[in-house]
Every structure is written in C-alpha cells, then in structure tokens.
Amino acid sequence: MKKSRIALVAIAAALLLAAPAFAYDGVVEKKTFAMPSYTTVGGKTIKDVKVGWESYGTLNAAKDNVILVAHFFSGNSHAAGKYKPEDTAPGYWDSIIGAGKPIDTDRFFVVSSDTLVNLNAKSPTTVTTGPASIDPATGKPYGMSFPVITMRDFVNVQKALVESLGVTKLYAVAGASMGAMQTIEWAAGYPDMVERAVAVIGDAEASGELIGWLNVWAAPILLDPNWNGGDYYGKAEPNAGLAQSLKIVTLQAQGVEWANKNFGRKWAAADKNPLDAYANKFAIEDVLDKAGAGRVATSDANAFLYLVKANQLYLQDAPSLDAVVKKIKAKLLLLPAQGDLVFPPDGVRRTRDALKADGKAVEYAEIEGPNGHLNGVIHVAKQGEAIKAFLAK
C-alpha cells in the first residue's frame, strides 16, 4: 500500500468512523454465521448465506442479556474493541460499548453482525453475501441478479444468528442510521422479541426526500461505463462512480457545520487559485474526493446499489408511519443528531409524536456536535447517560 493510499484511507476513516479515546478491552474475534438457504421478503431464495459477526461480553445462562447492535450504511459489525492491540482504531461505537460503559459488557452480551449485502464486501474484516458473491447456480458472481433485499432481510438473518445461540428475546436492539432503521424494523417485525429499541440518527420510515437522495447517491455508479449493468467482476470496476457515490454520502452525512468551520472557502492548495484553472479545487472538494476514493478499495459498487434499494424500501410492509408505530411493543429511545441532513430531527420528532399518540413508551434526546448525521457515530457518547438510564429500565 503506497503512502498516499494510506493517507487517503486514514482521512476516510477519520471522516466516516469514530475514533474514541478508550477501546473495548476484550479481544475481538470476527466469527461467521452460515445459513444453507435464506428466502428473502421478496420471495427469492439465496443459498449458502454467510455473514460475519462479533460479540462483546458474555451470554448469561438465562440468555436474557443480549443487546443486538446493527450497523450503518457504510459500516460493518466492528462496533467495539480491537482485533489486535496495534489496530489504529477500535470499533465505531467503542465509546459506548465496553466494561462500565453505557452498553455495559460486564452485564450485557452484545452481538453485532455484518449485514447481508454489506458495502465493505472486499474488506478482510467483513463477511457478507451479496452481489459480489458467487451464485452457486452459475459459479459466477450474482451481480444484479442478486435478489432485491430489504431492511427486514437484514433483520431476518440477524434473527437466525441469535436463535442459533439459543436466544429468543433481545434485551435491546440498538443502532445508528441504517442501524436505527434495522432497530425499528426489528421492533416492528418481531414485537414480542424486542424489549427495548435505541434508534440513533434514524427514523421509522424512508421519507420521499430520503428516497430521492438515495437515488442521487446511486447515480454516479450507474453512470460509470465500467459498471456495465453490474457485470464488472474480474474486469475494470466502476471505481470512479463508486468514489463519487461515497463522496455524496460523506458530504450529506457530515453536514453544514463540518463543511463551513473546517474548510469554508479555503483552496486545496495555496498556490492553486481556483480562479486560475478549472482543475484547481477548493479544500472541501479535495477532502471529499479523497474521502470517496479512500473507501473504494474495500467497497463493492453493486452492494452500494442494493443498500440504496433496501433503504428506500424501508419499512416495506408498513405503508405509513402510523402503521409502523402500531406494530411496535418495545420501549424506545430516539436519539437524532442536531444538524443531521440525512434524518433531520424534525422527522424524528414526528415519529416520537406518533409513538406517543399511540401510547408507546418513547424517550427522545438530541446528540450535539459539529458532524451532522455522523454525530450519532462520533459523538454518541454525549447521550451515553441517556442510553445507560434507558437500558436500566
């Protein structure tokens, strides 16, 4: 890996992942959960499904201390701790998962799984089944012949995983962004199995606005000629399009304060005035380009497209917010972030009000910070006390 590539990856990691001061101190091991066959919500059967998972803490004898953590769009199951002491950063929610932390691993058994169709399909620490996987029926990668999947499909595979451990009830489900969507999908889909739901920077349905933006996110991949209808494995890949798609996600996830305070109108290079040549960039353009490009090596473009679709379809079997709300039995804690452009707090307050109106036990607080949507990853510990108190009830 060249030095410049390392710099890019480091910038991308800094932008998209959390880097808390203290790490979960157990040794984290990536395990694999396998299903010989899984039938999607859309009625298609996928053979040989495999997803990676991690756990922090110990499953008790009663098997009633399980907290399932679901990850965000561009994440994987590495929520806490380090695989090796020399890892540069721990898992993304390490600030709230660990011994004595809000999600206390002295008390809880925390399970975190890679999604079916994980974006990081090429990462050595992600195990997933998706469009880049070999279709046993053809011996070739699925590409766009992979079935359309939904948030419920992610949940269903997680359900099979925890059931394989003998777990029949979840003390809580928690997650950020797409993880919050899985959390609410869990609570709505399996209401008798979920006792508590902690939905951070997420909402209870995909709004029209979000569906539109997800379409915009996907557009660069579809424009890249190397995408080739999704048939690019073993050939030149649509890296330019994928980098642009990841760039849009970064800008929308970081939000206004991040962009204005850190970069404003600064140039990318002091001796290259953007007035002098079309190619001369502003600092924020350069950072966004690097953030997008830095994640291409471990990401799969088709997986990005399938995640877009899964997010747009959310919550696929409940046609309205009221329909979602009626399904839920769990106590809920909603934690949107100030300045969030992906799931604006306005929308989450609407969900809170609908839950309250339906008599559900719902608590609400906002996460402060300069990182918009990503406050829910980077600064989630600011609501650590609220999470701790909620889990104590």
Residue 343 tokens, joined: 């799931």
Q: Residue 193 has which token pair?
A: 């199995």
Q: Which residue, among 11, 55, 45, has the nearest Cα to 164 in the 3D structure?
A: 55
Q: Per CB under 8 A, does 206 bind a second copy?
A: yes
Q: Considering 94, 104, 300, 340, which one is annotated as catalytic?
A: 340
Nearer to a second copy among residue 27 and residue 256 (C-beta):
256
Contact status: 332 vs a second copy (CB under 8 A)? no
- Could you confirm whether 71 is annotated as catalytic? no
- What is the nearest approach in angstroms of a second copy to the Cβ of residue 312? 6
Q: Which residue lies nearer to a second copy by CB, 15 or 68?
A: 15
Q: Which of 66, 70, 36, 31 is nearest to 52 (CA)?
A: 31
> Shortest distance, CB of residue 306 to a second copy, whole angstroms?
8
What phi and psi values does residue 268 have, to the nearest 5 degrees? -65, -35
Nearer to a second copy among residue 220 and residue 294 (C-beta):
220
In the bound state with a second copy, the residue whose beta carbon lies nearer, of 108 and 213, is 213
Residue 160: CB minimum distance to a second copy, A: 21
Taking phi over 0 as left and psi of -120 to 50 as alpha, with beta for the rest, 364 belongs to beta
- According to the binding rule CB under 8 A, does residue 212 interact with a second copy? yes
Both tokens of 51, joined, read 């997803």
Cβ neighbours for 19, distance < 8 A, ≥ 6 positions apart: 13, 89, 378
| 241 binds a second copy per the rule CB under 8 A | yes
Q: Which helix (H) or strand (E) holds 176?
A: strand 172-176
Give me the sign of the Cα torsion angle 389, 376, 156, 52.
negative
Site string for a second copy, 47-76 (x = CB under 8 A): ------------------------------
Q: Is 239 in the site for a second copy (CB under 8 A)?
A: no
Q: Decide if residue 260 touches a second copy (CB under 8 A).
A: yes
Question: What's the CA gap between 163 and 174, in Å, rounded?
Answer: 18
Least gap, CB of 108 to a second copy (angstroms): 34
* Catalytic residue flag (residue 286): no
The CB-of-305 to a second copy minimum distance in angstroms stands at 7
Mapped onto helix, strand or coil, the DSSP state of residue 80 is: coil
Rank residues 191 and 264 by Cβ distance to a second copy and give the closer one. Answer: 264
Q: Between β-strands 172-176 and 66-70, what pairing exists: parallel, antiparallel or unpaired?
A: parallel
224 binds a second copy (CB under 8 A): yes
Alpha helices in the chain (DSSP H): 3-16, 151-164, 178-189, 208-223, 239-262, 283-296, 301-312, 321-327, 345-357, 375-378, 384-392
Binding segment for a second copy (CB under 8 A), chosen from 13-21, 114-122, 244-252, 358-366, is 244-252
Q: Which stretch binds a second copy (CB under 8 A): 73-81, 157-165, 259-267, 385-393?
A: 259-267
Q: Which range binds a second copy by CB under 8 A, 91-99, 161-169, 185-193, 301-309?
A: 301-309
Q: Which residues contact 177 (CB under 8 A, 6 or more apart)?
A: 72, 73, 200, 201, 202, 342, 343, 373, 376, 377
Distance in angstroms (rounded) separating the CA atoms of residues 216 and 347: 20
The reply to whether 87 belongs to the active site is no
CA 246 – CA 239 distance, rounded (Å): 10
Residues 177, 203, 245, 379: which is the catalytic one? 177
Q: Does the footprint of a second copy cover residue 282 (CB under 8 A)?
A: yes
User: Who contacts 140 (Cβ-Cβ below 8 Å, separation ≥6)?
Assistant: 134, 233
Residue 24 CB, shortest distance to a second copy, in Å, is: 34
Distance separating alpha carbons of residues 240 and 57, to the nearest angstrom = 41
For 45, phi then psi, to 5°, come to: -100, 130
* Distance in Å, CB of 209 to a second copy, minimum: 4
- 178-197 residues in contact with a second copy (CB under 8 A) are none
The distance of closest approach from Cβ of residue 64 to a second copy in the complex, given in angstroms and rounded to an integer, is: 34
User: Which 91-150 residues touch a second copy, going by CB under 8 A?
Assistant: 144, 148, 150
Q: What residues make contact with a second copy under the rule CB under 8 A?
A: 41-42, 144, 148, 150, 205-209, 211-213, 215-216, 219-220, 223-225, 240-241, 244, 247-248, 251, 255-256, 259-266, 274-278, 281-285, 288, 305-306, 309, 312-313, 316, 319, 341, 344, 346
| Catalytically annotated residues | 177, 340, 373
